Chains A and B, each alone.
Chain A
Amino acid sequence: MHMDILMQNVERVRLEDPTKFNRLVQEGMAIELGIIQPAGKKEKTKEKFIAEFFPNDKKYAAVAQSVLDGKRKITEGLVKELIDAGKDPVDLVTNALMPGITVQCEMYDAGLSFVPEILMSNDAMQGGIKLCQDKIGNVPSKGTVVSFVAEGDLHDIGKNICAAIMRANGFKVIDIGRDVSKDKVLQTVKENDVKLACGSTLMSTTKPGLIDTSLLLELEKTGVSVACGGAAVSKAFVDTFRNAVYTKSPLETVHTMEKVLKGETWEKLR
C-alpha cells in the first residue's frame, strides 16, 4: 500500500472513532487500522484438502481428481474401468467420487473455489454415479431431497447451485426442474423416500406456488416440509404459512436437512 493511502486510513479511524483508535493503537491492532494487510489467512490450500480427503489408492485418487477438475468424460472413463475390474460400485461412490466433490466443497467454503467449479464437479460426479447406479440400482446416501423451482418460474441457476451443494454434502437430490406444479412435487415425494423438499423462486408473481406446495404436502400427510429459498423469498414471507422454513443459502439448506434427519420439524426449525 502507498504511504499516503495508509496514513489516510489511520487518520480516518482516528477521526471517526477516537476511542477505538486509542484502543487499537494500544493493542497494536495494525491490521484493523489498515497499516498491515491481513496475511497468512490462506492457510487452507487445495493441497491440504487433497491430502486430507483423497483416497490413498492411486486409481481411486485419479477419479477424485477428475471430479475435482470437473471432467465428466474422464471421470466416466475411469469409473467404467474400475467397475469392469470388479470394484464395488458403492465403494466407488463413497471413496472415489465423493472425496473429489468434498474437496471442491471445502475449497468453496474457504473461498478458494467458486460456483462454476462446484457445478462442473457436480456434473462429473453425477456422470460417475449414474454408471454405478446402473450396476446396483440405488446408491446409498445420507438422505433424499426433491428440488424444484415454483410453477410459472424458469429461473433455475440458484436451484442448480443449491442442488450441487446438497449433493456435495452427501445427499441424494431428485431434481424435478423448473416451472413445477404442486402436484408434481407431491407425486415425487410419494414415490420416493424424500425427507425434505427444496423449492425456490425469483419472481414475486410465483411465490404463491411455494405456499400451495407446502400446504399440499401437509394436507396429504407426507410428513415432508419445504425449505424455501431464492431471491424473491424472505423469512417474513415464509413465516406466513405452515409446513415450510426459510433457507437463505444452500449451506443453510444443508444444515436444515441435517436437522430434519435428526427428526426436527418445521415448527422447531423456525
Chain B
Amino acid sequence: MRRLQNYRDLLIVLTQKELKVRYKNNILGYLWSIANPLAFAFVFFIAFKVVMKIQMEDYALFLISGLFPWQWFANSVTESPTVFLGNASIIKKVNFPRGIIPLTIVLQDMIHFILSVPVIVLFLIIYHKAPSISWAYGIPLLLLIQLLLTYGVSLIISSINLFFRDIKHLTVILVTLLFYLTPIIYPETMVPERYKQLINLNPMAPLMISWRGLFLRGGLDPPYLLSSFIYSILIFMCGYIIYRRLSWRFAEVL
C-alpha cells in the first residue's frame, strides 16, 4: 500500500521534474514547445499549398491537427534511447519499477500536447469552425490510446538501447520514415487505391486519422478507432514483455 503510494509519488515527482526542467521560464518554455510543430506546419504549407498547389481546403488546419499529436509521439520516442542512461545512478542503487522512468517522459509530452490543444482551437476559429461536444469523450479516449501505444514503443526502445547503444540514430531515421508513411501531411483518401491496404499496416495511421477526424469534423470513425485501439494494446504488451525480460539486467549493463 505504502509502496504503491511511493510509486505514484515517484511518477508525479519525476514528471514534475521533467516539466520544470523543460519550462524553466514558464511562458517562454510553453511557446517553444508549440513553436516546433507550428514551424513544421508552416514549412509544409509553403511546400504543398503555396508551391505545389495541393487541392485541399483548410490545409493549414489540416496540418496542425495531425502535427500536434504526432509531435507527442515523435518526441517521446526519440527521447527514449537515453532515458535509462540518464538515470543510471539511481537504477544502479535503488530497486523500483524502472518502467516509471519512460512513463514520465511520455506523460510529460502528453501534457505538452494537451496544452497545445488551445492552438488547434485557435486555428478552428480562424477557419470559422468550432470545437465539438464529442471532444469531451473523444480526446480522453484518443489520449489513452496514444499513451499506451507511445509507452509501449518507448519501453521497447529504452530497454533495447541498453544492450545496443546505437539505437538512437536508428530511432531518428525510423520516426522520420514513419512520419511520411502516415497520413499527416496528406489525407488518407489521396493514397492511391493499390497502396490503401498498406496504411492499415501502419500502427500510427489509424490513430492520426482519428485525431484529425475528431479535431476537424468532431467525429470518430469506429473502424479507425478500433484498429488504433488494438494496435495500442498489442504494442504496449509487446513493450511490456520486452521490458520485463530485460529490466532485471539494467543495473548490470549501465
Same complex for A and B? Answer no
Q: Which residues of B contact A (CB under 8 A)?
A: none
